[in-house]
Amino acid sequence: MEPNAVPQSTLIRNADWIVAWNQQAGRHEYSQGADIAFSDGRIDFVGKDWRGEAERVIEGRGLAVLPGLVNLHCHPALEPFFRGIREDHGVPEMHMTGLYERGQAFRPDVEDMAAAAEVAYCELLLSGTTSVCDQMWPWPGWFDLIARSGLRGFVAPGFASARWKMTARHRLDYAWDEDKGRRDFAAALDQIETARRHPSGRLSGVVFPLQIDTCTEELLRDAMAVAEERDLPITTHASQSVIEFQEMVRRHGLSPVQWAHRIGLLGRRMTLGHAIFVDSHSWLHHWSRDDVPIMAETGTSVAHCPSPFARYGHALEDFGRYVEAGINMGVGTDVAPHNLIEEMRLAIVLARVAGGDIRAADPASLLHAATVGGADALLRPDLGRLAVGACADLVLIDLDHPLMRPARDPVRTLIWSGADRAVRDVFIDGEQVVADRKVVHLDHGAALDRLTEAQARMVRDVPARDYLGRDAEEVVPLSLPRAGSNTAGGHR
């Protein structure tokens, strides 16, 4: 089927399991031996014994049907470049984060970003993501490629008043250019309107001031005002590192969350990317304990992306505490691989470790976050749910896959065992975009070939960008030493 073609009316008949949405109870529930029918991009029926007609019938035996996953925070045109680079990279002098050093030394060419994005879009689709908050600075062909993929794209063109700059391993500086920030803000708003008008009908926009510490108060206030005026969601990175927390306290005497609240940035439109290092985090030993209650009381959402931080030894403290406080939680990948199911699994493990409690998180709470939580943060109550009238975004899980057997509890087994390997088919707006584990509209292999060449160019240019003039292997050593060399492998 060509992109933007009118999908067939479809019936999935007698599915072994359907994860159906109970609106009254506000939760997902299992329905067994049930049908789901959809047409014109919307779900017509979820339940037993559908009596209508359909142009296409899929036999549901051996299948579980889940709502499409909502990836609330990721950077698809950037993160695939860092495969084999960022997984073990960190700077102990910066409280273990490698974000600032890596962002300065490893910078891909904007012309190569389409290759990375195509790889990431394939990973997203193959692991059951149907909606993605795609946060990037603009690159050529962005909107047409995400539309061709079939994904429901919430595009977030970034802008900021400053960029990070390192001159020593223990210090983060800022290069301020407020005029450029204003120009990029205006351009981002134009791009959002272009996305809204895209003929695919699946693109919309998110206002995205890049980081709480790289934007002036005036720019942040104006960004929120535009989001309110145009009825758009808004997101920014906040409380993502100890360095950032300390910087905001130095500037304002307040935590990032408290300062955002003071200037009117928090509320139901706002999603904070990460919100790990809040004032109660054990690494900070801060005197206040206000951040979690503030996020809950204002209706602010959090995009939880556990894997990039776990790689540094960081963890949210903890998912269950945020949920219990009343914060709307979503899930994002943030890094490669773009596999939201594996992020869900890691989120459960880290919550239990950080909270010292097996009840801190479970498959139900993470499935809710990865579907309904993300959809609500994006102001889209018609996503993340299998219910009549909702968008026909759904995922078919192969229960005969060895990692799904025995399928006593398919959601639990998917998260703990099967993950993307058990995803068979994916539909978005009723259109099939993954068929028998293959992406329909993109060329995964060719994109990987282009990405490999592009990464080599990025690595070649590291000495010209690194603040110490090091080459890539000095910044990020290989896991093992090269034969005959005197240097040690690994990241220490």
For residue 67 the two structure tokens come to 């709502």
String of DSSP letters for 22-55: ETTTTEEEEEEEEEEEEETTEEEEEES---S--S
Beta strand pairing status for 42-47 and 63-67? unpaired
Angle, CA 124 vertex, CA 190 and CA 367 arms, to 5°: 105
CA distance 398 to 410: 10
Would 477 be classed as within a structural domain?
no
Locate tokens 């060399």: which residue? 485
| CATH for 357 | 3.20.20.140
Question: Which of 357, 377, 397 represents a domain boundary (last residue)?
Answer: 377
Burial of 14 (0-12, 13-18, 19+ CB in 10 A): middle
pLDDT at 6: 59
User: Of the ranges 19-33, 180-194, 432-446, 475-489, which one carries the lowest mean pLDDT score?
Assistant: 475-489
Would 488 be classed as within a structural domain?
no
Locate tokens 């690159």: which residue? 139
Would 445 be classed as within a structural domain?
no
Query: Which amino acid does the sequence have at 297?
Result: E
Average pLDDT, the chain: 96
- Together in a domain, 28 and 109: no
pLDDT at 234: 98
- Together in a domain, 74 and 202: yes
Helices (H) and strands (E) in the chain, counts: 17, 20
Q: Are 244 and 213 in contact (CB under 8 A)?
A: yes
Question: Which of 343, 377, 411 represents a domain boundary (last residue)?
Answer: 377
Q: Are 433 and 125 in contact (CB under 8 A)?
A: yes
**pLDDT tens per residue across span 140-172:** 999 999 999 999 999 999 999 999 999 999 999
Would 458 be classed as within a structural domain?
no
For residue 375 the two structure tokens come to 């959809």
Which of the four pLDDT bands, split at 50, 70 and 90, describes residue 2? very low
Instruction: Give the mean pLDDT of 325-346.
Output: 98
CA distance 256 to 328: 18
- Together in a domain, 282 and 393: no
Residue 363 has pLDDT above 90, yes or no: yes
Residue 73, SS3? Answer: strand
pLDDT at 491: 52
pLDDT at 486: 74
Residue 364 is inside which H or E element, if any?
A: helix 363-368
- Together in a domain, 55 and 92: no
Instruction: Give the mean pLDDT of 298-318.
Output: 98
- Dihedral angle of Cα 394, 346, 315, 368, to the nearest 10 degrees: 30
Residue 3 has pLDDT above 90, yes or no: no
pLDDT at 185: 98
Residue 434 is inside which H or E element, if any?
A: strand 431-435
- Together in a domain, 371 and 223: yes
Instruction: Give the mean pLDDT of 282-302.
Output: 98
Query: Which amino acid does the sequence have at 100?
Result: Y
**Residue closest to 125 by CA, chosen among 426, 463, 347:** 426
CA distance 146 to 134: 9
DSSP 384: S
Query: Which amino acid does the sequence have at 409?
Result: D
Would 468 be classed as within a structural domain?
no
**pLDDT tens per residue across span 199-219:** 999 999 999 999 999 999 999
| CA distances in angstroms from 288 to 276, 319, 374, listed in the order given | 15, 19, 29
Residue 5 has pLDDT above 70, yes or no: no
pLDDT at 46: 98
String of DSSP letters for 108-122: --GGGHHHHHHHHHH
pLDDT at 336: 96
Beta strand pairing status for 56-59 and 270-274? unpaired
Would 247 be classed as within a structural domain?
yes
- Together in a domain, 104 and 42: no
Percent of the chain with pLDDT over 70: 98
- Together in a domain, 308 and 435: no
pTM: 0.96
**Residue closest to 380 by CA, chosen among 154, 125, 151, 142:** 154
**pLDDT tens per residue across span 398-434:** 999 999 999 999 999 999 999 999 999 999 999 999 9
Residue 324 main-chain phi, psi, to 5 deg: -65, -30
Locate tokens 């068979």: which residue? 424
Would 482 be classed as within a structural domain?
no
Which of the four pLDDT bands, split at 50, 70 and 90, describes residue 291? very high
Q: Are 215 and 161 in contact (CB under 8 A)?
A: yes
* Count of domains for the chain: 2
| CATH for 404 | 2.30.40.10
- Together in a domain, 58 and 188: no
Question: Which of 417, 439, 461 represents a domain boundary (last residue)?
Answer: 439
- Together in a domain, 60 and 78: no
pLDDT at 490: 63
Burial of 135 (0-12, 13-18, 19+ CB in 10 A): buried
First and final C-alpha spacing in the chain: 51
- Together in a domain, 91 and 110: yes
Q: What is the largest CA-CA distance in the chain?
A: 73
Point out which residues pair with 425 in neighbouring strands. 396
441 CB-side CA count, 13 A: 21
Instruction: Give the mean pLDDT of 447-465.
Output: 98
- Together in a domain, 303 and 364: yes
Would 411 be classed as within a structural domain?
yes
- Together in a domain, 345 and 401: no
Q: 320 is in which domain, residue-wise?
A: 69-377
